[in-house]
Structures are given as C-alpha cells and as structure tokens.
Structure 1
Amino acid sequence: MTNRKADTDEQDKPIRLAEHMAFSRSFQTLFNDGMALVDETAVYLDGPGRTEAKALSRQAATLYAAESMRLTTRLMQIASWLLLQRAANQGDMSRAQVEAEKSKVRLESVGSGQDSHYFTELPVDFRDLVDKVIKLERRIAMLDREIYGTVPEAAEPPSNPVAEQLSLLKTAFRG
C-alpha cells in the first residue's frame, strides 16, 4: 500500500526553477560561461590590461589596482561556487557537504569602485570585464539564494580569503 499523503505532498510542492536549472544539464552553460570569464579576465590582466594600466593617471592607476583585486576576488568566489555546484551535480559531494563548504563562499560581499569619478578613466575593456563579472556574481548569488535559501551576509570578510579559496578548490577536486 502506498502512502497517498506523501505522494500528494510531493506533487503539491512548487517546482523551484533555479534549483532545477542548477542540477540539470543547463548548468554546464553557466559553468562554462563562468570559467570562460575567469580565463578572459586572466588573459586581459596579464596582457593588455597591464599595458593599459601604465598609461593611467596616478589616481586612476590606484583605482585600477584596487578594482583588479576586487575583480579577482569576485572571480575566485564565483569559481568556487561553480565548482561546488558541479561537484554536487556529478554526485561527488552531497548537498549537505556543499552547503557546509559553500558557507566559505562570499557572493556580493566585495565593494566596487564604479562610483568613483576615476572609474571612467579606466580602460573600456577593463570596465566591461568588471560589469560582466558583477552581473555574473549577482546571477549566481540569486541562484544560490533560490537553491539554498541563503541571505547575503554583512559579515566580516574572511581573515585569509586566498587560503579559504584554496581549501574550497581542494575540496571540489577531491575524488
């Protein structure tokens, strides 16, 4: 005899589209886009960005340096989230393990220098990268809230974000 109450309860639950997307094949597109943006940013910062930064005023160069750090921090957070989600999708980690590890990921916690009047002096390609990364970060943060029910924290920044990111990456690649 089946439990009709449990079957009815399961059917009555709303479908969470973000969760469905994050655990479906369409997640691969988001993953690929995020990792491509990591690569694109690294190539820019190591090549044309380095050259373009040398031509900036002292104030704009300072903003460029600060914004570059924010950019790479955002990308490390995004990559960590994507790798954790992929590990969950592939069955390498349970949802509980992902939730425990993703508590170290801070989405939307890094400020931006876009309000500075020197921001318009920064190279166009750099500003475009900043814009793309912020939009991707917001999209992932929205997915994260929808899937895991998290609320953006106004907590203290991690004491050593690089070490935490390395720990996340090690966890994601354990097999």
Structure 2
Amino acid sequence: MNEFSASESTLEGGRSRAAEVRDFARSELFERTFQEGMELVEEAASWLDGDGRRESKLLSRSAALAYASESMKLTTRLMQVASWLLVQRAVREGDMTAESACETRYRMAERRPESDPTHSDLPIGLIELLVRAERLHDRVLHLDRRMYLADTPEPENNPVLSQLGMLEAAFRE
C-alpha cells in the first residue's frame, strides 16, 4: 500500500483515515495531550539544565555514564512525541493536510522494551521524568496506531527478537 492510499483507506463506518486525523487534531483529547507533552518537554529541559546538571556532578563515574545514557533516552523519546504532536497541530491549524500527515515518515517509532534505568544511583528526578515520558510515549504511540494503522494487521511476535532482547538486557546488568 503506498502512502497516498493509506490516507484514503476507509475505516469502520466508511470514514476516511484523513477525516479521522482531522477530527483528532480538533479534539479536546489532542489539546490535553499536546499540552501535557509540551509541558513535559519544558520540565525535562529545565530539570536537565538545572537540578539534573548539579546532581550529575555528584555521581560516581559509572552512575554519571548511566545518567548520560538515560538522559539521552529521555530527550530522544520526548522529541519523538513532540514531533508527532506538532504534526497533529499543523493539521489542526491548516499548515499541513491530513492526507500528508498520514505519510509513514510522520509515524511514531515503536519503543524498544527496555530494562529499568541502568544504575541504582540515578537521581530520582531523572527516574520520575523517564517514567512519565515512557507513559506519554506509549499513549501517543497508541493514538498513532489507532489513527493511522487501525486496519493494518498487528505484526506477529518474533521469538528470535524476543530472545535477543532478553540476552541484551542480561548483559547490560
């Protein structure tokens, strides 16, 4: 299926995917999600630049390395969410067509299953931000899949990838 036909696909009840996207972009759910996402981006940036920077200087070498890794994961996850939300806002404001927003390049990437933060001495502020960002990412991913891939069959679980993921997690400890 090409990108254009994905936007024109018909959902249950005969509605087009583009109509679903337009309706969501104008919804209160979008407004609340957008507000929460942008506030979390600002809060994380402020914490990382302020308290997080001060706390990271007090960490051991191994904890500081874990801090750097986890803060990078946090910012990457939040930027993915913010990008997706900004596409939806562009649809709402008429800066982008709903059909264009249906293109695969605007889809949310799956979040790889991850183990808990990599070091027990990480600042609690970072851990709290990580948990909130993961929950928000998962909700936005669910919205993305529901809006854009509702009629696409779910991929089958790949046992080889599952085993590789478990091995990877075991060797990180």
TM-score normalised by length of structure 1: 0.68
- Which residue number corresponds to residue 54 of structure 2? 51
1:27 is displaced (CA, Å) by 1.2
CA 1:112–1:82: 2 relative to 1, 3 Å: same
1:79-118 mapped onto 2 (5 Å cutoff) = 79-100=82-103, 103-104=105-106, 106-109=108-111, 112=114, 114=116, 116=118, 118=119
CA 1:114–1:91: 2 relative to 1, 3 Å: same
CA 1:112–1:56: 2 relative to 1, 3 Å: farther
CA 1:80–1:29: 2 relative to 1, 3 Å: same
1:119-155 deviation digits (Å, cap 9, x = unpaired): x310111100000001000000000000000779xxx
**Equivalent pairs, count:** 138
Structure 2 alignment gaps of length 5 or more: 1-9, 156-173
User: What is the aligned-residue RMSD (CA, Å)?
Assistant: 2.8
TM-score normalised by length of structure 2: 0.69
Q: Tell me, in whole angstroms, the C-alpha distance in 2 between the residues paired with 1:54 and 1:113.
A: 24
1:26 is displaced (CA, Å) by 3.0
Corresponding position: 1:60 with 2:63: yes
Deviates more, 1:69-78 or 1:42-51: 69-78
Structure 1 alignment gaps of length 5 or more: 1-9, 153-175
Corresponding position: 1:75 with 2:83: no
Identity across matched positions, percent: 42
1:28-86 deviation digits (Å, cap 9, x = unpaired): 11101000000000000000000101111111110110111111111111110000011
Q: Tell me, in whole angstroms, the C-alpha distance in 2 between the residues paired with 1:44 and 1:142.
A: 27
Q: For residue 135 of structure 2, what is the amino acid of its counterpart?
A: K
